[in-house]
Amino acid sequence: MAVIGTNIEASTLNKLVDTSFAGVPGASAVDETPASCYFGGETRLEAAHGGLQTVFVGFGTTNVDASAELATLAAHLSTTPSVKWARGLSPMVQAIPEGTSVQSMYLPYSDAGLFGLVVSGRTAEGVREAGKVAVEVLKNSTKGLTEDELKSALAKAKFGAASAVESREGLIRDLGAKVMVKSLVGLTDQLDFVDFHGRYVC
């Protein structure tokens, strides 16, 4: 258990922690905690009437060393433009059918991560077609990026990692990572060592 405080004096926080958690028993060492396991599966929920059809295509990993590569891949595939009112540079933008959207996502955890694509559209047919296209673009992207594509993806991933701490939730998440695993600086440093094929280079 870690206690994180913002905008509070350390002495005050220490007193509150001593008072509030005095009776909490000690826990086992971190290295004795079993590693997370990923179990793939499928969940279907009945969509609300008139709402968008949505499909999530993704995979999990317990390889925390892959966080930089997955963050870079998510940035490369992200259809959100870096500049307002501009079209994104993602290969998804031109490929997906009109009336559908595909957004990449990467959720890192202390010892695992979830990467995926959220496909949405007005019709089931459109979502089905967009999903096929999205998976094909994902497969092609994992085979390697050009130098310009990699530079653009790295810059976008670094910006996303840095801007994530602007909110309270992002700040707490980053401070927690510093206590438990690694910091924002560690991730952005790793991004400098991703080569054109998504592997580390020395």
Domain boundaries, the chain: 50-191
Residue 113's φ and ψ, nearest 5 degrees, are -155, 155
Residue 172's φ and ψ, nearest 5 degrees, are -65, -40
Paired residues of 139 in beta bridges: none
Tell me the chain's radius of gyration from C-alpha atoms. 20
Q: Model's pTM, two decimal places?
A: 0.61
Report pLDDT for 159: 85
Considering only residues 161 and 105, tell me which one the structure prediction assigns the higher pLDDT: 105
Considering only residues 64 and 200, tell me which one the structure prediction assigns the higher pLDDT: 64
The Cα angle at residue 153 between residues 152 and 156, in degrees rounded to 5 = 85
Report pLDDT for 27: 63
Residue labelled with tokens 């509070």: 8
**What is the secondary structure of 164-193 as a DSSP string?**
GGGSHHHHHHHHHHHHHS--HHHHHHHHTT
Across 179-189, average pLDDT: 55
Decide if pLDDT at 201 tops 50.
no
Please give the span between the terminal C-alpha atoms of the chain, in angstroms, as a whole number.
35
Considering only residues 96 and 39, tell me which one the structure prediction assigns the higher pLDDT: 96
Report pLDDT for 118: 92
Report pLDDT for 195: 59
Q: Does domain 50-191 have CATH number 3.40.47.10?
A: no
